[in-house]
């Protein structure tokens, strides 16, 4: 039994989630409070990965980052970044692909929060940053948790975009979902079943944890 | 002196509303904005606090310009020294009562004043509780104390008591009047309750559809004529009973029910549910000690 695909999967999901957290809070904040005219365009772009076939995203990233193209060769030459068939490329693809799963819960958390909380803090002389960290974020903790878990779980489950841009390189880009496909291709059903079962139960456990925490069941249990 | 001149096109529930008001508030006065919902009261509040930008206007507070759309001056809410009590209290749910007050104070400032405030509004027993566990009246006291933490010169209360029952409302009116006098505040209040307005305010501004329709001494504005009575109470008519040439009007004042006699002309104008002012002019009141 080869554990590397599973380890790679969780490493990818973990790094992706951390990066997404830093990106999604400002994006969600802007989407929740901005009255800008380009907001619908931004909302569409953020939500695109929800409906776009992952292969489309993967295909264009493969083209864009290929060292035989201008942009890809620029990254390769000047920043030493090779984004096709590499783990770095997987991270970038996952960040884009899981973005709506993190942004949407946080955005709706901000929107559902009574705007008078923000106003009250401003009238008290608090800056926007202080208000964000001391008032807004602590009061949307369930939304933050939902966003983090959904992005994490979604990254574990991605297949198409990873296959397109990462390929199937053992120890580098061969994550669990690809390994399952690979094992089935070579009629190795037992190994495929093991990977599948592990993913099934981990995903179940993660989602159960979110619903239990957000539904207040954990708190009730401890009290 | 607060000098306010504001114009803004608002999207209200009943269609577009053009708000156009101009008024002055003297220092140390308690002024009430009164009018139907949707008249623009809360919008005026938000513009004075800097939470909403008018299309055109000017706000001067003691010669300092807070807002001048022509000169493109617009102080952010953070720099306008205002204590604001929101209609829905806006207490921070993630903080205890004491933390709510301390947050308003800011870091590194003397928190002795917070202890005083907690005493003034009787929050001693509740200071380590979270807002979710408090009753409406308790939340309102926290909101009032929190608005005073920064020692503002102007206190703004947006329908602070409308969600509370009669007894708590009475108590809080006393609290508000007390802090208004004690801290030498200029207080602006939004209220629908006529007895509350007459009891509390020095000056009344009545709004309708974004315009000021009347302003002046509350009792005079609300009753449309000058009364020099020493005693006056506001109540609601519960019953009108005609007896020969007079009417016996039953009025609820606070929790007391009293009967007043009205002549035919007056009686015909009144109907059940009307708010009325009961004043006494020529007679000497009789005082009885209550044991």
Bridge pairing between strands B154-158 and B82-85 = parallel
Higher pLDDT, A75 or A25: A25
Cβ-contact B152, A125 below 8 angstroms: no
Residues B187 and B248 in one domain: no
* Contact flag A119-B106 (C-beta cutoff 8 Å): no
Residues B147 and B197 in one domain: yes
Residues B13 and B97 in one domain: yes
CATH number of the structural domain spanning residue B261: 2.40.50.100
- What is the spatial distance between Cα B187 and Cα B33, in angstroms, rounded to a whole number? 11
Closest by Cβ to B150, choosing from A114, A116, A125: A125
Q: Residue B184 — left, alpha, or beta (φ > 0 → left; ψ -120 to 50 → alpha)?
A: left
**Chain B interface includes A112 (CB < 8 A):** no
Q: Which of A103, A129, A116 is nearest to A49 (CA)?
A: A103
Residue A155: CA count within 13 A, CB half-sphere: 30
| The CA-based dihedral angle spanning residues B20, B24, B30, B36, taken in that order and rounded to the nearest 10 degrees | -20
Residues 124-143 of A with CB under 8 A from B: 124-127, 134-135, 138-139
CATH number of the structural domain spanning residue B111: 3.40.50.300
- What is the spatial distance between Cα B186 and Cα A73, in angstroms, rounded to a whole number? 67
Q: ipTM greater than 0.85, yes or no?
A: no
* Contact flag B103-A134 (C-beta cutoff 8 Å): yes
- What is the spatial distance between Cα B5 and Cα B82, in angstroms, rounded to a whole number? 18
B contact test, residue of A119, A120, A133 with most B CBs within 10 A: A120
Q: Between the CA of residue A3 and those of A7, A10, A81, B73, B130, what are the distances in Å?
A: 6, 11, 27, 64, 47
Residues B65 and B26 in one domain: yes
Domain span holding position B171: 2-223
Token digits of residue A145: 């948790």
| Choice among A81-90, A139-148, B57-66 with the minimum mean pLDDT | A81-90
- What is the spatial distance between Cα B186 and Cα B79, in angstroms, rounded to a whole number? 17
Residue B119 pLDDT: 85
Q: Which of B234, B267, B276, B272 is nearest to B253 (CA)?
A: B234
Residues B204 and B259 in one domain: no
Q: Which fold has domain A4-222?
A: MetI-like fold (1.10.3720)
Residue B289 pLDDT: 66
Using a CB-CB cut-off of 8 Å, the residues of chain A touching B66 are none
Domain boundaries, chain A: 4-222
Closest by Cβ to A124, choosing from B51, B76, B150: B150
Residues B243 and B265 in one domain: yes
Residue A220 pLDDT: 64
Residue B99 pLDDT: 92
Confirm whether B204 is domain-assigned. yes
- What is the spatial distance between Cα B85 and Cα B174, in angstroms, rounded to a whole number? 16
Residue B262 pLDDT: 86
Token digits of residue B185: 């505040």
Residue B174, beta-bridge partner list: none
Q: What is the pLDDT along chain B (291 residues), one digit of tens a residue?
A: 899 999 999 886 667 889 999 999 999 999 999 988 888 899 999 999 999 999 999 999 998 999 999 999 999 999 998 999 998 899 999 999 999 999 998 776 777 888 888 888 888 889 899 999 998 889 988 999 999 888 898 999 998 887 777 878 888 888 889 889 988 999 999 988 888 888 889 999 999 888 999 898 888 887 765 555 567 778 888 888 888 888 888 888 877 888 888 888 888 888 888 888 887 766 666 676 666
Using a CB-CB cut-off of 8 Å, the residues of chain A touching B103 are 121, 124, 126, 134
Residue B290 pLDDT: 66
Residue A105 pLDDT: 96
Cβ atoms within 10 Å of A82's Cβ, excluding its own:
15
Residues B136 and B256 in one domain: no
- What is the spatial distance between Cα B81 and Cα A123, in angstroms, rounded to a whole number? 8
- What is the spatial distance between Cα A108 and Cα B55, in angstroms, rounded to a whole number? 30
Per-residue pLDDT averaged across A50-68, rounded? 89
Using a CB-CB cut-off of 8 Å, the residues of chain A touching B88 are 114, 116
Residue B273 pLDDT: 84
Q: Residue A127 — left, alpha, or beta (φ > 0 → left; ψ -120 to 50 → alpha)?
A: beta
Residue B226 pLDDT: 56
Residues B104 and B246 in one domain: no
Closest residue of chain B to A118, computed from CA coordinates: B90
């Amino acid at each position: 039994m080869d554990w590397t695909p599973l380890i790679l999967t969780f490493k990818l999901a973990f790094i992706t989630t951390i990066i997404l957290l830093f990106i999604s809070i400002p994006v969600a904040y802007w989407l929740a409070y901005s009255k800008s005219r380009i907001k619908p365009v931004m909302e569409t772009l953020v939500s695109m990965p929800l409906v776009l076939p992952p292969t489309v995203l993967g295909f264009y990233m493969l083209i864009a980052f290929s060292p035989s193209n201008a942009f890809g060769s620029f990254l390769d030459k000047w920043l030493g970044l090779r984004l096709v068939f590499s783990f770095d490329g997987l991270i970038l693809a996952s960040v884009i692909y899981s973005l709506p799963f993190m942004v949407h819960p946080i955005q709706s958390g901000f929107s559902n929060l009574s705007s008078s909380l923000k106003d009250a803090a401003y009238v008290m002389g608090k800056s926007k940053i202080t208000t964000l960290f001391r008032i807004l974020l602590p009061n949307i903790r369930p939304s933050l948790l939902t966003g983090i878990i959904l992005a994490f779980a979604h990254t574990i489950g991605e297949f198409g975009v990873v296959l397109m841009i990462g390929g199937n390189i053992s120890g580098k880009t061969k994550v669990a979902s690809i390994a399952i496909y690979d094992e089935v291709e070579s009629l190795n059903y037992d190994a495929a079943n093991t990977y599948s079962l592990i993913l099934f139960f981990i995903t179940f456990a993660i989602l159960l944890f979110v619903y239990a925490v957000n539904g207040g069941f954990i708190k009730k249990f401890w009290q | 002196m607060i000098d306010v001149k504001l114009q803004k096109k608002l999207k209200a529930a009943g269609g577009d509303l053009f708000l156009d008001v101009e008024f002055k508030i003297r220092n140390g006065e308690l002024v009430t904005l009164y009018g139907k919902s949707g008249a623009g009261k809360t919008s005026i509040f938000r513009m004075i606090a800097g939470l909403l930008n008018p299309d055109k206007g000017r706000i001067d507070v003691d010669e300092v310009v807070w807002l001048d759309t022509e000169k493109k001056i617009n102080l952010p809410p953070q720099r306008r020294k205002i204590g604001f009590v929101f209609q829905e209290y806006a207490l921070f749910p993630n903080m205890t009562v004491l933390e709510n007050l301390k947050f308003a104070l800011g870091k590194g400032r003397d928190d002795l004043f917070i202890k005083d405030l907690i005493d003034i509004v009787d929050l001693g027993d509740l200071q380590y509780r979270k807002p979710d566990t408090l009753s409406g009246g308790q939340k309102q006291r926290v909101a009032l104390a929190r608005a005073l933490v920064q020692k503002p010169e102007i206190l703004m209360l947006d329908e602070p008591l409308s969600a509370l029952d009669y007894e708590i409302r009475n108590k809080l009116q006393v609290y508000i009047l007390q802090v208004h006098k004690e801290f030498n505040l200029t207080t602006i209040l939004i209220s629908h309750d006529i007895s509350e307005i007459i009891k509390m305010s020095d000056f009344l501004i009545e709004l309708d559809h974004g315009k000021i329709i009347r302003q002046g001494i509350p009792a005079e504005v609300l009753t449309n004529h000058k009364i020099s009575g020493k005693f006056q109470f506001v109540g609601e008519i519960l019953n009108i009973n005609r007896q020969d040439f007079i009417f016996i009007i039953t009025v609820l004042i606070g929790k007391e029910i009293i009967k007043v006699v009205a002549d035919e002309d007056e009686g015909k104008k009144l109907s059940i549910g009307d708010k009325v002012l009961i004043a006494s002019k020529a007679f000497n009141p009789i005082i009885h000690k209550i044991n």
